[in-house]
Amino acid sequence: MKSKEDIKVAIADGSVIMRSGLASVLKHFSEFNFRINEITNQEALTIFLRLHTPDLLIINPLFAIGMNLATIRKTYPSLKIAALTSSLIDNQLLSDYDTTISINDDIETICSKIKEAVNEPDEESSEQDALSAREKEIIGCVVKGMTNKAIADTLSISIYTVITHRRNISRKLQIHSTAGLAIYAIANNLVNIEDIKDVIN
């Protein structure tokens, strides 16, 4: 029998219910053996990262206010960071995270997001190969002017998943405007120009 891969995880949140609840959920993940540490404040997190850098940091964006995630990434380049949310969060606050986990996600969804985050390569692959089928679907929706909520409803996924996909698309393609994304979508036959003429005019 193949042994499970050890994954070091730090869960940073001020709520013991959020921390312990997620830790309990992770025990249902059969592919990995999660070695979990619960962090209760920013000072403890800073010390923990320095002494025991985890593979994955799951942190409440409100807990992280005042912390420089860009600096943390630069200091610990192999670290993956997931946002742990219990309510709607400003998209700007979620842009620096590798994925977003909502308390409304079921166990399967949470495990899938974590698996994708920890297995994401550090180096970018070629842009076209890097885009998943779902990301191409979302590009099509975005360039047609759909909101995150409309995309989530259309594709039957959470709004947090839409935000994560959009962040990944921007990172992979290095395109940060809807107009630029529209040009890319047309060039790669992801949409019909008639469907998005209002966007590019």
C-alpha dihedral, 115 to 118 to 121 to 124, nearest 10°: 90
Sign of the Cα torsion 154, 105, 85, 83 reads negative
Q: What is the pLDDT of residues 84-100, one digit of tens each?
A: 988 766 666 777 788 88
For residue 83, give the 3-state DSSP assignment: strand
Ramachandran quadrant class, 66 (left: phi over 0; alpha: psi -120 to 50; beta: rest): left
* Predicted confidence (pLDDT) per residue in 162-191, tens digit: 888 888 888 888 888 888 888 888 888 888
Taking the CA atoms of residue 6, residue 101, residue 117 and residue 173 in that order, the dihedral angle to the nearest 10 degrees is: -170
Cα dihedral value 52, 56, 60, 65, nearest 10: 60
What confidence tier does 1 reach under pLDDT thresholds 50, 70, 90?
very low
Q: Identity (one letter) of the amino acid at 22?
A: L
Mean pLDDT computed over 43-60: 93
- What is the C-alpha separation between 96 and 55, in angstroms, rounded? 16
This prediction's pTM: 0.61
Least confident of 48-52, 81-85, 114-118: 114-118
Mean pLDDT over the full length of the chain: 83
pLDDT in tens, 110-146: 888 888 787 765 544 444 456 888 889 999 999 988 9
What domains appear along the chain, each with residue ranges and CATH number?
1-123 (3.40.50.2300), 127-201 (1.10.10.10)
